[in-house]
């Protein structure tokens, strides 16, 4: 039996009210290769943790 695996592609992430991101949140376009850079405390780690939580909730 052949299994067809359908991949989901995340092209934009908007995270609000998660950890240090606050109400204003953060929006990132993820089309193509994406590099996340910023000063200390700008929310890079919070963004990655939010994306990891999303992947866990989807079973990834």
Locate the domains of the chain by residue range.
12-57
- The structure's pTM equals 0.71
Select from 17, 60, 21 the least CA-distant residue to 44. Answer: 21
6-54 pLDDT tens trace? 677 788 989 998 887 878 888 888 888 889 899 998 888 998 999 899 8
What 3-state DSSP class applies to 43?
A: coil
The position carrying tokens 């299994």 is 3
Among 58, 49, 50, residue whose Cα is nearest residue 8: 58
């Amino acid at each position: 039996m052949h299994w067809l695996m359908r991949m989901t592609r995340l092209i934009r992430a908007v995270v609000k009210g998660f950890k240090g991101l606050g109400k204003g949140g953060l929006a990132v376009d993820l089309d193509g290769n994406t590099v996340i850079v910023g000063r200390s405390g700008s929310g890079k780690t919070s963004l990655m943790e939010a994306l990891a939580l999303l992947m866990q909730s989807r079973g990834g």
